[in-house]
Amino acid sequence: MRFRIEMKRPFRLLRQTLPALLLLAMAPWPAMAETDSEAIAREVRQEMQRLIEQEGILDAAIERGIERFIRKQRALAEARKGKGHARNMRPVSPARDHINGNPDAPITLVEYSDFECPFCKRFHPTVKKVIENNDGRVNWVYRHFPLAFHNPGAQKQAEASECAAELGGNDAFWRYSDLIFSRTRSNGNGFPIDGLVPLAGEIGLDRDAFRSCLDSGRMTARVKADYEDGVKAGITGTPGVILLNHETGAVLPLAGAVPAQRLQAAIDRVAASPAGE
């Protein structure tokens, strides 16, 4: 739309000056030779061209239009590429994944997240609210994607949440995860590692059993598997989201802590997407 507006500017100049030029061209010139008439017409054409090219207005408008077209095409190409990667995502499995909401929902929001990521901390309540507002139409799967520069904290917190799940089930995983996000200050030093066991006690888990699980390191491979799956699915940062329509197979990747309104719009879009999208 801006391109059209910019294109109008030189033609507005023409409209302002064209009447005078035409009057000049059509004015009666006694005993005017044919060559004189042609000369005036030529001058009119030259003046019109000069106005169009004045200060490079037309060229600049065209260049900006071309640049916007190129950016749009690149964005479309990246979106297609992102969807291609997203199809590599591991299938959602109630036996393997932590699911918040209706396990039989037709739409799943798979989030690859990092407990020490400040954007993930901000995004966490947004997703929770959107899931609640969709009345069973959408569920939420949390997968680990601890970033190297947030370790060892992010990695250890991810392992701790898996220990919570092992000892207390799916509900314990989500309660424990909610507590970490609510208390961490983020960026790698937001929640003390020595506070992970007491946190488990707060939600009623056996501290000794939790400490044994965490110290054993047996959850390290599970967290790593989530991370590697995210890489295959095209995740490069956190939070990284992939929306999946189970009925049509349509996928839609999203990057960053998008606001609730945009997240809902994306959910509606993937819900309406045909097979193969």
Beta partners for residue 253, in sequence order: 242
Asked whether 238 and 117 are in contact (CB, 8 A), the reply is yes
Q: Are residues 17 and 105 in the same domain?
A: no
Q: CA 121 to CA 239: how far, in whole Å?
A: 9
Q: CA 207 to CA 215: how far, in whole Å?
A: 12
From edge to edge, which strands make up the β-sheet containing 138-144? 98-100, 138-144, 107-113, 240-245, 251-255
Q: Are residues 120 and 53 in the same domain?
A: no
Return the pLDDT at 4: 45
Return the pLDDT at 67: 58
Three-class SS of residue 191? coil
- Digit-by-digit pLDDT tens for the chain (277 residues) are 444 444 445 445 545 555 554 555 455 544 444 556 677 767 777 776 666 666 565 556 656 665 565 455 444 444 444 455 888 999 999 999 999 999 999 999 999 999 999 999 999 999 999 999 999 999 999 999 999 999 999 999 999 999 999 999 999 999 999 999 999 988 867 899 999 999 999 999 999 999 999 999 999 999 999 999 999 999 999 999 999 999 999 999 999 999 999 999 999 999 998 865 5
Return the pLDDT at 221: 98
Asked whether 40 and 48 are in contact (CB, 8 A), the reply is no
Q: How far is CA 213 from the centre of its chain?
A: 36
Q: Are residues 60 and 102 in the same domain?
A: no
Q: Are residues 131 and 208 in the same domain?
A: yes
Asked whether 140 and 73 are in contact (CB, 8 A), the reply is no
Domain count across the chain: 2
Q: What is the pLDDT of residues 131-142, one digit of tens each?
A: 999 999 999 999
Return the pLDDT at 31: 44
Q: Are residues 187 and 57 in the same domain?
A: no
**Domain residue limits at 64:** 2-69
Q: Are residues 44 and 137 in the same domain?
A: no
Asked whether 196 and 167 are in contact (CB, 8 A), the reply is no
Q: Are residues 119 and 232 in the same domain?
A: yes
Amino acid at 181: F
Return the pLDDT at 29: 46
Distance, first Cα to last Cα, the chain = 28
Q: Are residues 237 and 105 in the same domain?
A: yes
Return the pLDDT at 45: 72
Supply the CATH number for residue 228's domain: 3.40.30.10
Q: Are residues 116 and 53 in the same domain?
A: no
Q: Are residues 257 and 134 in the same domain?
A: yes
